[in-house]
Structure 1
Amino acid sequence: SSGYGVACKIVNFAMLIPSSLMQSMASFVSQNVGAGNKKRAEQSMFTGIGIGLVFGCAVFALVWCKGDVLSGLFTADAAVIANSYAYLMGFAPETIATAILFSMVGYFNGNDKTLWVMVQGLMQTLLVRLPMAYIMSIQPNASLTMIGLSAPTSTAVGILLNISFFLWLKRYENQTCA
């Protein structure tokens, strides 16, 4: 539990950039949608994903290669560092996946699709992340790495849900405009 606690400090730091992109994306998108410039709003989502991926890949490499050093900033206990690093190894792909998901969430929030954002968030959390974390925790050789994988797995599901919704929304908008 101490290792997980230390890992959470690093996770919170790693999520700062995607979270900031999501919040600014919602504002920028809503301003452009309000001004009738949906194309620019859509392009901002892809730009946000690109910027997020650059930072996400850098943070992934740092967490993957030096997660033990990062954990050592918060404790000197070798067992806590080892457990923190074990969790971070499973969590690391989340730094990349979140760059995509959070920009999409910001785009949908700015497009007044907040109900969708809530539904997809609940689906990925309740149907994927929590059950997977529980299943991984009750395995005979349970590890924090496998439990940590529940985060990027649920985010990947969220990305697929959002891509599907985005394509459906584009098709719906094209049909109503025709």
Structure 2
Amino acid sequence: MIKKGFSFEINKKHFKLDKESVKNILLVGLPLSLQDAFVNISFLIITSVINTIGVIASASVGVVGKIIMFAMLPPISFGSAVSAMTAQNIGAGEHKRARKVLYYGILFSLIFGIFATLYSQFYPETLTSIFSNDIEVINSSNQYLMSFSIDCIMVSFVFCMNGYLSGIGKSIVSLIHSLIATFGVRIPLTYILNKTAGVTLYELGLAAPISTFVSILICFIYLYWTYRKDKLNYNDNNINIECDENTILL
């Protein structure tokens, strides 16, 4: 472009920050970045708690972590797609179509989530044995994977809902429910279970889907509340329009 030149004038004064754009980017992006940071911190805390059980448990968590990371790629991808498509539809004023995007995003994510969970329930050793040859580690990993894999179904809802919330510019809601579920449920539950006598990695693995379920409830409540609110506003606007038309006719 520099070599061939521009068809219009361009210089340093044309490069400046647009305050409204910067504000909108920060309102959406900052909560998402904080959410990712806090989630990663929570994983470190949970790992440190489980590490106190022993070397076998520590190795098992590492093995399952690799498997779950791969299994959650589809819902993560669909969540990103929901975010982009929701923003496009909201920008076009197609709020109903944006909700359909959320619906189908969850549906497609569930296909992969249910498959991953069912496979992990019946054939966990075929996955865990890829990363370890130690029988104890495999058996322990199987227990952890069987319970943790249920989260693959749960995140099919949460990731897509987070994408929808980001698309409508409400990523702060994603941050709030993530903090509540992670620091209010998952970490305390993991710590309490870890202190319980005779607890296994199967019980510890249940902390993930339980905390994600809390996120789902919060998201459902918020989305239902906003839907009802939008519906009431729509009805009120229709009443006003009808009154205006009647006034004109009279």
TM-score when scaled to structure 1?
A: 0.97
Q: Does the 8 A contact of 2:117 with 2:146 survive in 1?
A: no
Deviation digits for residues 51-110 of structure 1, max 9, x if unmatched?
Answer: 111111111111111111100011111111111111111112111111111111111111
Give the AA of the match of 1:124.
A
**In the alignment, structure 1 residue 73 sits paired with structure 2 residue 130:** yes
Greater fraction helix: 1
**In the alignment, structure 1 residue 163 sits paired with structure 2 residue 220:** yes
Question: Paired residues, what number?
Answer: 178
> How far off its partner does 1:14 sit?
0.9
Aligned to 1:31: 88
Aligned to 1:40: 97
> How far off its partner does 1:7 sit?
0.7
- Secondary structure, counterpart of 1:61 in structure 2: helix
Give the AA of the match of 1:155.
T
Please, which runs of 5 or more residues in structure 2 have no aligned partner? 1-57, 237-250
- Secondary structure, counterpart of 1:17 in structure 2: helix
Give the AA of the match of 2:82.
M
Aligned to 2:61: 4
Distance in 1 between residues matched to 2:219 and 2:91, nearest whole Å: 22
Report which structure shows greater RCO (CA 8 Å, sep ≥6). 1
Q: 2:150 aligns with which of 71, 83, 93?
A: 93
**In the alignment, structure 1 residue 52 sits paired with structure 2 residue 115:** no
> How far off its partner does 1:3 sit?
0.9
> How far off its partner does 1:174 sit?
2.3
Give the AA of the match of 2:120.
V
> How far off its partner does 1:175 sit?
3.0
Which stretches of structure 1, 4 residues or more, deviate above 4 A after TM superposition? none
TM-score when scaled to structure 2?
A: 0.70
Aligned to 2:27: none
Give the AA of the match of 2:66.
K
**In the alignment, structure 1 residue 146 sits paired with structure 2 residue 203:** yes
Give the AA of the match of 1:68.
E
Distance in 1 between residues matched to 2:161 and 2:222, nearest whole Å: 10
Please, which runs of 5 or more residues in structure 1 have no aligned partner? none
Distance in 2 between residues matched to 1:14 and 1:90, nearest whole Å: 14
Distance in 2 between residues matched to 1:64 and 1:9, nearest whole Å: 17
Distance in 2 between residues matched to 1:172 and 1:4, nearest whole Å: 43
Distance in 2 between residues matched to 1:155 and 1:142, nearest whole Å: 21
Distance in 2 between residues matched to 1:45 and 1:8, nearest whole Å: 27
Give the AA of the match of 2:102.
M
Q: 1:131 aligns with which of 173, 179, 188?
A: 188
Distance in 2 between residues matched to 1:117 and 1:25, nearest whole Å: 14
Q: CA RMSD in A?
A: 0.9
**In the alignment, structure 1 residue 175 sits paired with structure 2 residue 224:** no
